[in-house]
Structure 1
Amino acid sequence: MSTAAERDRMTELALTEWETVAELLAARGETWPDTDVTRWGPGLAMAMERVKALADACKVIGAREASDVGRLADLYEARTRS
């Protein structure tokens, strides 16, 4: 089982990567989930793959708030609003 510090650190890593995705989408005039992934370039696609990998890792270690892309996006939005 992971420690709270490990879960917090993995959540922060996932949020940092999600910020990259959000910035790349914003540069295209898009937001999540209102985007056409078939039109993404390799940079955005790879950033999303990193997000998915980190979300999967969060799921495995029990960091539920960041355990999938939807939850991670919601957590990021909640943090940026406050």
Structure 2
Amino acid sequence: MNYPIPASPQEIVDLRQKPVDEELVAAAIAGVINIARQEGQSLDELTAQVLAEDGLLDPAQRSWLSDIVAQAWASL
């Protein structure tokens, strides 16, 4: 992977400066999962955040992302 897994929320924010590709998205997801675990969050709490209403993703996209996060959670 060309991108290290972010270890802090600031490092995730800094990823916005990089061109978006599959590896960047994978690194961001892995970073979010690691940070959530460090903060004591459960998978259910994290997926609830992913599924929460926002202006970026429609409901189908949020559901898809929630599934990806759950798969990544199990793999990491």
Structure whose CA Rg is larger: 1
Q: Which has the higher helix share?
A: 1
Q: Pick 1 or 2: higher relative contact order, CA cutoff 8 A, min separation 6.
A: 1
| TM tier, smaller | 0.3 to 0.5
